[in-house]
Homo-oligomer: A and B are copies of this chain.
Amino acid sequence: MPVQRSNRPSPRPPSAAPKLQAVPALDDSTEGQAPRRRGRPPRLSRAAIFRAALDLIDAEGAAALTMRRLGAEMGVEAMSLYRHVASKDALLDGVAEQLMAEHEVGVEDHDWAVSAQRFTQQIHTIARAHPAAFDLVGLRALNTVDAMRPVEALLAALREGGFTPDRAVAAFRLLSGYSRGFALSEIAGFTLASATDGNPRLTGDKLPAEGFPAIHELTGELARESTEDDFRAGVETIIAGLREDLASTPRIA
């Protein structure tokens, strides 16, 4: 089974009516501070490129995101993209930022457990909304201000909730590790065999009848796809554990 040959629905002449073009959105217009000049508006901008890339991944999967294809999608040659992004790797960083920009931060409350649910929930929501993209760039280390904001909110809530510095960071890593891992495992099929045709299949099917009693017993539950609630329940369990940690440590005013 070929991996990256011709999954394209139809050849679609790249010159005719490209799907994603100028997209002159609000946050784009602030990029060049000069008052709208008279010449033809630039077709490309970093923001537009990242948006188009994310759209392309959403629509056709990670394998469809090539510089050439993305260029075609924007009505431009692939090489033109290099005016705006240094490399494909930089493009993926941009896609990651674009993706994580959907992580909204609630500023009002200060209870650490609520903040923890918020923080993790948002990661899971993003992963569900853009599985292919999350799979591709969901683990990238970002150093943008936007990517820091949710982290800041969670860490602040933990500190105010009485977590010591090292416990706060530990809690952050625990919550963030779980969120990403659960989301990615969900996308990948949770290690337990899904069929090659993509349809979920009973886990125990190929197992020798003897020797795997627990898996056999739990086949139904294991085959069930995980839900939002499953994810949330896991976070609750973690929060319960954290609460215990916190209780067994001297509080900090």
Contact = CB atoms under 8 A, between A and B. Distances in A.
Nearest to A195: B143
Interface string A104-139: 000000000000000000000000000000000001
Interface in A169-212: 169-170, 173-174, 176-185, 187-194, 203, 206-208, 211-212
Given A155-B218, A206-B143, A173 B190 contact: yes
A93 B158 CA distance: 40
A164 B215 CA distance: 13
A248 B193 CA distance: 32
A1 interface: yes
Contacts of A253: none
A66 to B, nearest CB: 13
Contacts of A2: 87
Identical copies in the complex: 2
B217 A165 contact: yes
Interface string A143-172: 101011001100110110000011011100
Interface residues of A, number: 72
Contacts of A245: 237, 240
Interface of A: 1-3, 86-89, 139-143, 145, 147-148, 151-152, 155-156, 158-159, 165-166, 168-170, 173-174, 176-185, 187-194, 203, 206-208, 211-215, 217-218, 221-222, 226, 230, 233-234, 236-242, 244-245
